[in-house]
Structures are given as structure tokens and as C-alpha cells.
Amino acid sequence: MNQMENAKKRYESIPIPDELSERVMQEIRRADMRRKTERKPVINRRGWRRIARGVSAAAASLAVVFMVMLNTNTVFAETVSTIPVIGTVARVLTFRSYEKETTDMKIAVDIPSIEMVNEDFSGLEKSVNEEIHALCEEYAREAEERAMEYRQAFLDTGGTEEQWAAHNIEIKVWYEVKSQTDQYLSLAVMGAENWTSAYSETRYYNFDLKEGKIITLKDVLGENYAQIADESIRNQMQERTAEGAMFWPEEFKGVTEDTSFYMNESGNPVVFFEKYEIAPGSEGTPEFEIVSGEN
């Protein structure tokens, strides 16, 4: 078993509070596996990164649902965009924002929506928004299920309602605009649960606003994108290691078309790695900017 697998094993045993027994951990994982087996996934991981291929979006239906919710649900609200139109091409709005609080947990959800001002991009806008909306709703629903499974396991193993309430379970789904320039728009959609880091998730959506398309590392760095990015990442690992950081260079297998990245304000791709993917947990989620001079 290599370093990453050992670290992941240790990591997965951490999230549940110390007072819970191993039985709680087992019950939660068993229930989670059963739920994943029984349900039909909305979109697989690979599919999220190929959103440009689109799905049969229903923008009119989404608009109707939005207006109904706005007028009938006091918790539902449209938030006016705080992000200006980018180069008269695109902007990000909060399509849906709501909070839910019960005796068991708190849930806060902000779902973004891309608005393409250029009518030529309307097909891209529809497919992207449908997938983002589905991603946010699916994460919130699954996170709530996980929390309730956790609660039941906690109570089944001797925990009390008072002790459970003290955990202050919180679920959050939100988004950030990583960059907004005349050329690019990069959007990060995130989900997190305060009782465990194992299920935190980030999806990046990168748009070329001049071409009206989703971009890949190959689009930005050229045909030799893998070689360029791999060399840069390995060099940066060495530099950071010399400064005291820790990495597992043997676990870095090189970038692919599915590697997560976002565009920064300088117009350079920033490659992103999940926690424990190429480094100990103390390094968090490592990021590496591939500067434009390298391509």
C-alpha cells in the first residue's frame, strides 16, 4: 500500500468525532454505499468535464419553475448579480439561493447561472446551466442524506439528541468566479459538509468568451499541453519542497484532458489537485499556475 492509500485510509477515519465508535463509521459507509448503488447518478464525473457536448436543456421550464418558486416559497429568492457583464458577453447570476435550518442541521445553497449576452452562445448557456443546477441540487440532497445517516448511526450507538445537536451540522453549496476577463470566465461550483471533508467537491467551468465554448488545457497550452503542464508542475513541486512543503511526486501521473483547472486573471491555467491526491493533507488542495511563457 503506497503513501497516498495509507493517507487516505487515515483521512477517512478522521471526520466523525472521536466519541463515536467504529460501528458508527461502518454504518455510515455501509449506508452510503447502499445509497449510491441504488440510485441512478445524474451525471458521472467524466461527464461534468465535458459539458460542452450538452444535454437537452429546457431553459423555458427552468424559468417557469424559478418564477413559481419565487412567488410561492418565502425561502426562495433571486439574488441580483453583483458581477457586471463581462465584455458585454457573459455574466453570472444567482439562479437560486435558499437556507434551511432544522433541529438536525443547517443547509445553505447558492446556485449560479450563466447568462450569455451573445445570442450565438445560447446553446452553450442552456446546457451549462442545466448541468450546474443539477450538480448543486444533487450535492445538497446527497449531503443531507449523509448527515441523516450519520445522525441515525450516532443515536444507534448510544449518542443522545443533546450530543447530536452540539455537532452543529452544516451543509453548504456555493460558487465563486475565479476570473473574469475579456477573454475568459472561470467559475468554481463547490459543496462542503462541516462534519467531514471526505465528500467536499469542486467543479470548474472555463469559458472562452471570444469563441463561445468550454475550454480545455489543450485549448490553452496547445498540442503539447501535457508535456508543458507536467514539466511545470514537477518543477514547482521541487521548488516548494526546497522551501519546506511536502509532496508525493511518484503519485503525480501527469495531466489529462480531465484534469481540473481554472483560468486566473493573468490568463494562465491553474491546475488543481484534490486533498491527498499528490501530497499529505497538510498541503491542502495544491494548485499550480502554468504561466503563459511556458506554452
Candidates 173, 195, 163; CA nearest to 14 is 195
User: In the prediction, which pLDDT does 117 show?
Assistant: 73
Query: What is the residue-level pLDDT of the chain in tens, covering all 295 positions?
Result: 555 555 545 545 544 444 444 555 555 555 555 554 554 444 444 444 343 334 333 333 333 333 333 333 334 334 333 444 444 468 899 999 999 999 899 999 999 999 887 767 767 888 999 999 999 999 999 999 999 999 999 999 999 999 999 999 999 999 999 999 989 999 999 999 988 777 888 999 999 988 888 999 999 999 999 999 999 999 999 999 999 999 999 999 999 988 999 999 999 999 999 888 999 988 989 999 998 654 4
Query: Which residues are CB-neighbours of 199 under 8 A, at least 6 positions away?
Result: 142, 143, 146, 191, 193
Write down the pLDDT at residue 60: 34
- Of 172, 102, 168, give the one whose Cα is nearest residue 140: 172
Residue 243 to residue 233: CA distance in whole angstroms: 15
Q: Quick one: which of 182, 159, 198, 147 has its CA closest to 10?
A: 198
DSSP sequence for 180-208: E-SSEEEEEEEEEETTEEEEEEEEEEEEE
| Beta carbons within 10 angstroms of residue 266's beta carbon | 11
pLDDT at res. 139: 95
Q: Which pLDDT value is given to residue 113?
A: 93
Among the listed residues 132, 162, 128, 133, the one whose alpha carbon sits nearest the alpha carbon of residue 53: 128
**Residue 179's beta-bridge partner residues?**
186
Contact 232, 288 (CB under 8 A): yes
Q: How far is the C-alpha of 138 from the C-alpha of 35, rounded, in Å?
A: 13
Dist. CA 181–CA 194, nearest whole Å: 33
CB atoms within 10 A of CB 79: 12
Q: What are 100's three cell numbers? A: 434551511
Residues in the chain: 295
- In the chain the domains, ranked by start, together with CATH numbers, are 3-214 (3.30.565.40), 216-295 (3.90.640.20)
The answer to whether 139 and 193 have CB atoms below 8 angstroms apart is no
**Cell numbers of 271, please?**
491546475
pLDDT of residue 203: 93
Task: Tell me the pairing of strands 106-116 and 170-180.
Answer: parallel
The conformation of residue 250, written as its DSSP 8-state character, comes to G
